[in-house]
Amino acid sequence: MTPPYTPGSGEQGYPRTAPASATPARRVLAAVSLLASAAVAVAPFLPWVWVSQKAFLLIPAQSRSWTAMDELPETSSAPGYLALAAGVIGLALALAALATGRKPLGLAALAPGVLGAAACLLFVREVQSYQDQVQSDLIAQLAQAVLDIRGGLAAGWFLALGGSVVLLACGAGHLLRKV
């Protein structure tokens, strides 16, 4: 025989409901999202592109790097601000998901992940467009032939892209979890 029902702290006749608690997997995904969001938020302040030139006769060797927030020729700082926004939004969502354990907040990690990945792709597109313009310039071609100028993407860009991919994976993890 079952014990008689005693109403809890609700309306008469409705059973007492426990607050939604997060499963350990949700908490882990939220914690990983928090770390990835912090990485994406810090990335715009780290170098995203570098250029170096070897020494030639009286010209000393030089090396320079730029962050996503710096103004490069023919590029904007919009990708840096997009990555920063993605990191800050991701931090807020991950903190809320960690504190409340709610699945929709963890699932929302997809949005800053997409925004951060879009910032990385936009940066590459802008730099590639500038590089295409420079390659058609005769003076730049002569300088490249004489000075051996090299360049590439730097650690900040890879950190932003990696953090964005992890955010996407965490959001997908929340989506795939039934609990």
SS (H, E, C) 25-51: HHHHHHHHHHHHHHHHHHHHHCEEEEE
21-72 pLDDT, tens digit per residue, is 557 878 888 889 999 999 999 999 999 888 777 766 666 667 777 888 887 7
Phi, psi (rounded to 5 degrees) for 20:
-65, 125
What pLDDT does 18 receive? 43
User: Which residues have C-beta within 8 Å of that of residue 159, sequence separation ≥ 6?
Assistant: 39, 40, 42, 43, 46
Which domains are present in the chain?
A: 24-176 (1.20.140)
81-91 pLDDT, tens digit per residue, is 999 999 999 99
88-144 pLDDT, tens digit per residue, is 999 999 898 888 877 787 778 889 999 999 999 999 998 888 776 666 666 666 665
Considering the chain, what percentage of its residues have pLDDT values greater than 90? 32
pLDDT at 19 over 50: no
What pLDDT does 115 receive? 95
Q: Find the mean pLDDT for residues 76-82.
A: 90
